[in-house]
Amino acid sequence: MNWYLEVLRKYAVFTGRARRKEYWFYFLINFLIITLLLLTDKLIGTLDQEDGMGLLSGIYALAVLIPGIAVAIRRLHDTDRTGWWVLIALIPIVGPIILIFFLIQDSTAGDNRFGTSPKEISKPEN
């Protein structure tokens, strides 16, 4: 849960780097929350079957849109790619697959043009 909250604390921070752990834990918790909200929308009758989105899930999705984009950009920075690569997801079918491939790659070791490796920052000093 701390990884999720850390992303929300950095609401619109598009600079720096994000570890795989930070991105994927945020993604997992976000997915679970959206699923629960969709079920709640269905139960209370606010789910629009055509759009696949309800009142509660729609409000939540809008609230976490910017942090989701920001953490994806920071994750791309961690693999030494510019954040503009996030736009590749707009290409049908192959775009999201390429973006996922970039997001699952390991960090570049040490410093890169986007900052210090978050793995090295979180290591305890002897």
Segments making up each domain of the chain, as ranges: 2-122
Confidence of residue 1 (pLDDT cuts 50, 70, 90): confident
Residue 54 identity: G
pLDDT tens for residues 33-53?
Answer: 999 999 999 999 999 988 889
Residue 3, Cα to own-chain centre: how many angstroms?
11
- What is the distance between the alpha carbons of residues 106 and 123, in angstroms, rounded to a whole number? 16
- What is the distance between the alpha carbons of residues 106 and 89, in angstroms, rounded to a whole number? 20
Q: What is the pTM of this model?
A: 0.88
3-state secondary structure of 112: strand
